[in-house]
Amino acid sequence: MKKNGLILLVDDDSAIRELFSTCLSQEGYEVLEAATGLEGLQLAQARQPDLVLLDVGLPDMSGVEVCRQIKSDPKLQDVFVAFCSGEATSDTHKVSGFQTGADEYLVKPFGLQELVARVQTLVRLRNTTAALRASEEHHRRLIDILPDAVCLIHPKGHLLAVNSQAVAMLGYSNTDELLHKSIFALTPAEEHDRIKHDIVVALKAGIIRNVEYIMLKKNGAPFRVELSATVSLGINNQPAGLLSVVRDITERKQAQEDLEASEERFRQLANHIREVFWMSNADKSKIIYVSPAYEEIWGQTCSSLYSSPRNWVDAIHPDERKLVLEKSLTKQLAGEYDEIYRIIRPDGSIRWIQDRAFPIRDASGNIYRIVGIADDITKRKQAWDALGESEARKRAIMQAALDGIITIDHEGRMIELNAAAEKIFAHSRPKLIGENVMEVVPTSFRAWFQNGLANCFTGDKGPTLGSRIEMPALRADGSRFSAEFTITRIRLTGHPMFTLYIRDITQLKRTEAELRSLPQRIIKAQEAERSRIAQELHDGINQLIASVKMRLRKVEGNLPDLKPAAREILQRCDRLLVKVLEENRRIAHNLRPTDLDHLGLAAAVGSFCSEVQLRTNLQFQCRLPVSSRRLPPVVELHLFRIVQEAINNIEKHARAKSVTVHLRYQEGSAILNIQDDGQGFDPKTLKAGKKMRHGLGLTNMRERALSLGGNYEIKSAPQQGTTITVRVPLAVAQRSTAPKRKRTAAI
């Protein structure tokens, strides 16, 4: 366990190690000792100390080389190195040490108090540096997962930094494509003067909030955003730019406009309907709204009802007042209030009122409002028994329903429909009334639909009666849309009638299709990004490294009198560059293996397994038949990625010793098995946390199998290993594959 810190001493002088170790241990440090450079490297990689006190002259390798290897290891990026030497004390030695990444160079001899003070300072500096790096990474990740776009805008308007949401919001493919663009290139010209003014204001005030602009996507499409920004300070506390949070408010604005339009329609409806629309709080102590029809029916002003909410009760006939009041206080809360009563107007005339109400609940389920409609039914009272309550409710439902409702007779003619049906079919009511329902059914479906209606008319249960069916329907302009139909019988004397319920499910089907295709788009994007990175490694980084390597050799060749030490440094650099080139080639090969394009699936899988076996303790047994007939490129790519993902998961999580990869062809299918003898897991209880990445890998493999029309099966149990089986029908895969892609250049 670390105390004040963990110190690694690397020195071939045992007396110095014992002296330093005793001194530092007394100061509360945990001390590790190594007599050689190799031993020091191994301890550094295993224990990751806070500070390495490193002698320059070691028996097996130079301390400078030990420092270089420590500083080049990403896992040891927080390890500080201080050289301690009594021989290599010249400025040249110090410069060489610092150039390898050393954090301090101590010249022997020095006192133990100075050693302790230097160590305390270096450990404190190391802890501060590590905390700063962790904080920067934390904030970078925090900004990148924000749902809003975040960008740093230079005072002159060009973008200095953006997060992934900004790239997606503006329709660009990657961050580099967007960086250094001017904010004026992303906005229409009419916004530029206002943006310039707002930048000046923000730089002076230090902040700007909730300013709305029009922005342009990469394809030129405009959309509305809301921006808040604060000044980011740089050197000498001078403004370095505006740290801005940008939110796409297109949907919110549309929702606001829709709400305003809805409220306007409500006002128009409430102000013009002859019924009284009213709204009160739950205990009836306050009238929140009453429509102008109240003045015509009750003969009293709306303001009088607002000021005295019991006015409507006082107007009820004395014989019915008590009962109506009791029901208004009980049934309205239960949603069962539907009463008919008489009122006495100020002029003494009597009106019959049908009053209906229902409760409105908040998000917690508590009733906070009562909404009702009071209708003057005086003129209809004599015909009420004949008409029946059901007819009144039918009209209310027809007009309030969001789904289209059409009543058809026994010959299929439309005799009634609601406003929703007019909207769905984009036909006016007069146009549809009297027409056969087949006018809204596409020609290719008419025979099937007609047969269903015929069975309904004769009383038999056809394919449409009482069931929900999905089929295309026609709008007025002849365009098709996806619809859901339900037909119910109206039981009447004589010929039957039917009610046809229609729901436009175009958006629902589009959303379902988008959800189904989303995983495949993600996989395609992954492959495109892999190919791009592999190409950039080959065309960019590898070429630069090769150029540096050639120049170093040229320098060595042009300096025949070069000192042996300098020549050794150049040769070490040459060897390091060779290693870097090999590592880049390995990375690029894993991103897009050329073996897969040129030699096929079996060769690519075998090569990948061999590479993993060389760098790990895993033992592979591969049974990969080589066929003279290649699988389609997309099939080979997906199967290779499944193998790659599975073996990476085994390497990271399984703690396995051996892996078997078996590919066979059976009954028109390609069957891939990947089996390990590792610790296994329970697939049913795979959750987030430490196994989140593992679960994402399994999901990726499953989606790749499904994209080929195949299936994916995983069998595993704790301490019993894991077996993954992928079966791809070759005929289905052949049909589902895309045109052959261009091969990536060899890395």
- Of all residues in the chain, what percent are helix, strand and coil, respectively (each to 5)? 50, 25, 25
Helix (H) or strand (E) segment spanning residue 485: strand 480-490
pLDDT of 588 reads 59
The string of pLDDT tens digits covering residues 369-404 is: 999 989 988 887 766 655 556 666 667 777 777 788
pTM confidence score: 0.34
The distance in angstroms from the start CA to the end CA of the chain is: 45
- What is the distance between the alpha carbons of residues 169 and 179, in angstroms, rounded to a whole number? 14
Which is nearest to 726 in space by CA: 541, 564, 601, 619? 601
For residue 83, what are the β-bridge partners?
54, 105
Handedness of CA 286, 289, 292, 294 (dihedral sign): negative
Higher pLDDT, 687 or 142: 142
How many residues in the chain? 747
- What is the distance between the alpha carbons of residues 613 and 21, in angstroms, rounded to a whole number? 40
Structure-block tokens of residue 497: 């009638």
Which is nearest to 365 in space by CA: 328, 336, 333, 327? 333
The string of pLDDT tens digits covering residues 428-441 is: 878 888 888 888 88
The string of pLDDT tens digits covering residues 86-133 is: 777 787 878 888 888 888 888 878 888 888 888 888 888 888 887 777
| 3 state SS of 650 | helix
Burial class (CB in 10 A: 0-12, 13-18, 19+), 297: buried
417-422 long-range contacts (CB < 8 A, ≥24 apart) are 421/502
- pLDDT grade for 470, boundaries at 50, 70 and 90: confident
Residue 161 CB neighbours (<10 A): 17
Decide if pLDDT at 733 tops 60: no
Mean pLDDT of 526-553: 67
- What is the distance between the alpha carbons of residues 181 and 439, in angstroms, rounded to a whole number? 54
Say yes or no: domain 146-249 is CATH 3.30.420.40: no
Structure-block tokens of residue 734: 């052949």
Mean pLDDT of 700-728: 87
H-type helices in 293-367, by residue range?
293-298, 302-307, 311-314, 318-334
CATH of the domain spanning 593-747: 3.30.565.10
- pLDDT grade for 674, boundaries at 50, 70 and 90: very high
Asked if the domains 146-249 and 273-384 are classified in one and the same CATH topology, the answer is yes
Helix (H) or strand (E) segment spanning residue 431: helix 429-432
The lowest-confidence range among 249-263, 571-585, 674-688 is 571-585
Which is nearest to 6 in space by CA: 79, 70, 71, 101? 79
The residue ranges of every structural domain in the chain are 6-134, 146-249, 273-384, 393-504, 506-592, 593-747
- pLDDT grade for 690, boundaries at 50, 70 and 90: very low
Structure-block tokens of residue 468: 């929900």
pLDDT of 383 reads 63
- pLDDT grade for 6, boundaries at 50, 70 and 90: very high
The rounded radius of gyration (Å) of the Cα atoms in the chain is 39
- What is the distance between the alpha carbons of residues 395 and 105, in angstroms, rounded to a whole number? 92
pLDDT of 301 reads 92
- What is the distance between the alpha carbons of residues 260 and 237, in angstroms, rounded to a whole number? 46
- What is the distance between the alpha carbons of residues 632 and 590, in angstroms, rounded to a whole number? 20
Q: Per residue, what are the HEC states of 104-140? A: EEEECCCCHHHHHHHHHHHHHHHHHHHHHHHHHHHHH
For residue 661, what are the β-bridge partners?
622, 674
CATH of the domain spanning 6-134: 3.40.50.2300
Going across the sheet that includes 159-162, the strands are: 159-162, 149-153, 239-248, 222-233, 207-216
Higher pLDDT, 525 or 112: 112
Residues 6 or more apart whose CB falls under 8 angstroms from that of 101 comprise 67, 68, 70, 71, 81
Structure-block tokens of residue 101: 């990444």
Decide if pLDDT at 736 tops 60: no
Contact 293, 275 (CB under 8 A): yes
- What is the distance between the alpha carbons of residues 601 and 624, in angstroms, rounded to a whole number? 9
- What is the distance between the alpha carbons of residues 378 and 126, in angstroms, rounded to a whole number? 90
Alpha carbon of 642 to those of 114, 534, 695, 714: distances in Å?
A: 58, 19, 14, 12
The lowest-confidence range among 53-62, 156-165, 260-269, 511-520 is 511-520
Q: Which fold has domain 393-504?
A: Beta-Lactamase (3.30.450)
Decide if pLDDT at 740 tops 50: no
pLDDT of 658 reads 93
- What is the distance between the alpha carbons of residues 395 and 228, in angstroms, rounded to a whole number? 50
Alpha carbon of 433 to those of 304, 398, 408, 414, 436: distances in Å?
A: 44, 15, 10, 5, 9
pLDDT of 453 reads 67
The dihedrals phi and psi of 713, each to the nearest 5 degrees, come to -135, 135
Which is nearest to 453 in space by CA: 441, 444, 526? 441
Structure-block tokens of residue 608: 């990948």
- pLDDT grade for 78, boundaries at 50, 70 and 90: confident
Per the omega criterion (within 30 degrees of 0), is the bond before 109 cis?
A: yes
Q: Which fold has domain 273-384?
A: Beta-Lactamase (3.30.450)
pLDDT of 390 reads 60
Decide if pLDDT at 676 tops 90: yes
pLDDT of 343 reads 92
Handedness of CA 396, 401, 404, 407 (dihedral sign): negative
Decide if pLDDT at 187 tops 90: yes
Higher pLDDT, 653 or 594: 653
pLDDT of 463 reads 47
